[in-house]
Amino acid sequence: MEGLFLCGSVAGSNTFYNLKHFRQAEEEKQTMKVAVVGATGLVGTKMLQVLAERNFPVTELLPVASERSVGKEVEFKGKKYKVISMTDAIAARPAVAIFSAGGSTSLEWAPKFAEAGITVVDNSSAWRMDPAKPLVVPEINADILTAQDKIIANPNCSTIQMVVALNPLHKKYGIKRVVVSTYQSVTGTGVKAVQQLHGERIKEVKGENTDYPMAYKYPIDLNVIPQIDLFLDNGYTKEEMKMVKETCKIMRDDNIRVTATTVRIPVMGGHSESVNVEFERDFDLADVKALLQSAPGVVLVDDPAAQQYPMPMDAHEKDEVFVGRLRRDESQPNTLNMWVVSDNLRKGAATNAIQIAEYLQEKGLLG
């Protein structure tokens, strides 16, 4: 009996040990610490909203911001969370850190997160054209991601919505050239630009002289500014050249030629684009509509007889890319005109970044 008792004790001990470690492994598997870097900004706030709406499996939220914001509170799923520092976030070892804190911050801190084994999804332009870093729109090229990719770039907002609309057409007809003009919301600039537009509108409508910051050199209300970001030596702005270079990288085709004009307009949310696309092969307009109707992340709104077409007000707080005004360019063969609209804070920034995190989590590529 004594031997049996001892044997039973060892067996019971081993069973307990194995069960304990099994439970620990299961708990670790279910744990999803998520850091949002730049959590107090316009895009960071939208990231928190989208994480909640899409029920991303966050078991512990780590809101991160600059030192001056540490200790402030943000809300997520009805709870208040205190903002922490970069170093504290790294020490907490989240599975993923979603950055929206500007290029210089990302260049300094994203490698430190990555060195700690944390996967970074970065919304700035810092890493987009780095050949070693993937630039991802999940509907198009999420398949390139691996567990070794610790810094993943989120593309420019205006590029994202354009390539989501173009990708299904490129697969069938082969894109030769894209001419795009954008009509971009002030929310793409940030809170200061929103305050400027509000202030100018109050002054115009009510005649009240309110104090407001100037995000732009010129008034934006009742005006259009044909400059987004700084001018380069070739006469194009940085925003325009982002669209040129990012399109080829995302669509994995350096032969696509792109030329862009990017414009800021007095709209509060949502970017619009006039896109003229020349294909290698001819197309049937009915087939183009069918391709877009079945494309992931695309909503076709194209009924001229009923005056139905995409507008920023329709895309507001939605994750899809809306496409309409489809028609042949009658000035040359194999060329299509289209109108593309999307919420720049959602699909153009927050939603795309979180869709990347969703893909990584689904494929077991985090941690």
Instruction: Please give, one letter per residue, the 3-state secondary structure of 84-116.
Output: ECHHHHHHHCCCEEEECCCHHHHHHHHHHHHHC
Using N-to-C axis directions, what is the helix angle for 157-173 and 238-250, rounded to 10°?
40
Q: How confident is the model at residue 31 (pLDDT cuts 50, 70, 90)?
A: confident
Told to judge if 157 belongs to the known catalytic residues of this protein, a careful annotator would answer yes
Q: What is the reported pLDDT for 22?
A: 39
Task: Give mean pLDDT, residues 319-324.
Answer: 98
* pLDDT confidence tier of residue 30, bands split at 50, 70 and 90: low
Q: Which residues pair with 308 in a beta bridge?
A: 303
pLDDT bracket for residue 249 (50, 70, 90): very high
Question: How sure is the predictor about 142, in pLDDT bands with cuts at 50, 70 and 90?
Answer: very high
Whole-angstrom distance, CA of residue 246 vs CA of residue 244:
6
Digit-coded pLDDT (tens) for 184-205 = 999 999 999 999 999 999 998 8
Using the predicted structure, report yes or no on whether residue 210 has a pLDDT greater than 90.
no
Closest CA to 183 of 311, 347, 300: 311
Tokens 């982002």 — which residue? 242
81 Cβ contact list (under 8 Å, min separation 6) = 61, 62, 63, 73, 74, 75
Pick the range with the lowest mean pLDDT from 6-20, 163-177, 299-313: 6-20
Q: Which domains does the chain have, with CATH numbers?
A: 29-155+350-362 (3.40.50.720), 158-344 (3.30.360.10)
135 strand-pairing partners: 153
Name beta bridge partners: 76.
79
- pTM greater than the 0.85 cutoff: yes
Strand, helix or coil at 138? helix
| pLDDT attached to residue 13 | 39
Q: Which of 7, 21, 157, 198 is catalytic?
A: 157
From 7, 170, 198, 271, active-site residue: 271
Q: Which spans in 37-182 are helix H?
A: 42-53, 86-92, 103-115, 138-141, 157-173
Q: 313: part of which helix (H) or strand (E)?
A: helix 312-315
| 198 classed as catalytic | no
Question: What is the rounded distance in angstroms from the CA atom of residue 272 to the CA atom of residue 92?
Answer: 40
pLDDT at 367: 74
Q: For residue 19, what is the DSSP state?
A: H
